[in-house]
Amino acid sequence: MKLAFFELEGWEEKTLRDRFPHEELLLIKDRLDEFHLPPQTDAEVISVFVDSRVTEKVLSNFPALRCITTRSTGYDHIDVAECKKRGIVVCFVPGYGNNTVAEFAFGLILNLTRKIYHAIDQIKETGSFSLQGFRGIDLKGKVLGVVGTGRIGKESVRIGRGFGMKVVAFDPRPDAPFAAETGMTYLSLHELLACSDVITIHCPLTPETTHLLNRDNIKTVKRGAYLVNTARGPIVETAALIDALDQGILAGVAVDVLEEEGEIKDEMKFLSQARRPEELVLMLQNHMLMRMPNVLITPHIAFNSREALMRILETTMESINGFLAGKPAHVVPELR
């Protein structure tokens, strides 16, 4: 069988060759999308990561395709409904790095509340040991608002409690035993926004969560709060973030994910193709965000620990072996 892997870094290649000695492997560094199609599109299994975009158009280029595995927890970059129509199985990696992402979210939180990045940058850039402008706030005793208490959100709740924070959460499917166990309280989203000193987002990107935080409800955020998004960019409306920062509603923002990350990573290519005005506006807004002093942006690396990557590869190989044996594993909930 022909298996095509996209967005590979290189270190995975030996493991993949060892584990699939009898299959024909296409090992590709580039991402897969409408503008990055490989010369051969006859694979029956493809494996992608988060910069790929497996749209209807991409799918129609792979006539033999029967299984897609994404080496990520989020699978919003794959048209699952279209895969369902075509009888293509979609597998993902649930829960490879619950602690990995939550630990990173707290790294961002501490960078915002204690200005660590700016302080280090000052010393490296100017050699100055001045304390000016570096007063922060304690986390202990502050309110942490967790949006989405799934696998990663729950780890954030635990870490927040470890810091001595009061934790509130919003989730349309609350887990009452977990709340009791950790001493956390579920609130409505509106209540959470109004009382949290630090908001951290851990829900998936779906039609319902797109612009969950938007121009209307961002006005209800507690003045001076900090916001961290390690989930997916479109969950927060970029224009709303800029407004809230301008108006001092948010004291600081740290995001590991942007609306339309592909554009930022490959702007020359992006600009050379015909684009809708909304996409160009979004690109400009991303640049405005990047230039704001109280905004920290990381390039979608919350998943990126050595341990998590090994777990991702293992789970992906399990999914493919399951598919080859006629028993697909780690299938996305929509296709079970």
Binding ligand NAI by CB under 6 A: which of 252, 303, 312, 316?
Answer: 303
Radius of gyration of the chain (CA): 21
Binding region for ligand NAI (CB under 6 A) out of 78-86, 120-128, 179-187, 298-306? 298-306
Query: For this structure, is 267 an active site residue?
Result: no
Q: How far apart are CA 182 and CA 301, in angstroms?
A: 28
Q: What angle, rounded to 10 degrees, do the helices at 98-114 and 116-126 form? A: 60
Residues in the chain: 336
Q: How far is CA 49 from the centre of its chain?
A: 11
Nearest of 302, 325, 272 to residue 109 by alpha carbon: 302
Q: Where do the DSSP E strands lie in 247-323?
A: 250-255, 295-297
With residue 167 as reference, give the H or E element that holds it: strand 166-170
How many other CB atoms are there within 10 angstroms of residue 124's CB atom?
A: 8
In the complex with ligand NAI, which residue's Cβ is closer, 12 or 175? Answer: 175
Report CA-CA distances (Å) from 230 to 33, 110, 236, 256, 300: 23, 14, 11, 5, 8
The answer to whether 44 contacts ligand NAI (rule: CB under 6 A) is no
Q: Which residue of this chain has its Cβ atom nearest to ligand NAI in the complex?
A: 150
Q: How far is CA 7 from the centre of its chain?
A: 16
Binding ligand NAI by CB under 6 A: which of 52, 209, 286, 315?
Answer: 209
Active-site residue identified among 237, 259, 261, 263: 261
At which residue do the structure tokens 């199985």 appear? Answer: 89
In the complex with ligand NAI, which residue's Cβ is closer, 136 or 204? Answer: 204
The answer to whether 257 contacts ligand NAI (rule: CB under 6 A) is yes
The interface with ligand NAI within residues 148-167 (CB under 6 A) comprises: 148-153
Q: How far apart are the first and last CA of the chain?
A: 24
The residue type at 60: S
The answer to whether 231 contacts ligand NAI (rule: CB under 6 A) is yes
Query: For this structure, is 261 an active site residue?
Result: yes
The answer to whether 322 contacts ligand NAI (rule: CB under 6 A) is no
The answer to whether 171 contacts ligand NAI (rule: CB under 6 A) is yes
Binding residues with ligand NAI: total (CB under 6 A): 30
The answer to whether 71 contacts ligand NAI (rule: CB under 6 A) is no
Q: How far is the CB of 246 from ligand NAI (least distance, A)?
A: 26
Q: How far is the CB of 203 from ligand NAI (least distance, A)?
A: 3
Active-site residue identified among 53, 232, 237, 263: 232
Q: How far is the CB of 53 from ligand NAI (least distance, A)?
A: 15
With residue 90 as reference, give the H or E element that holds it: strand 89-91
Footprint of ligand NAI (CB under 6 A) = 73-74, 95, 101, 147-153, 170-173, 202-205, 208-209, 212, 230-232, 256-257, 300, 302-303
Give the residue numbers annotated as catalytic, written as ranges: 232, 261
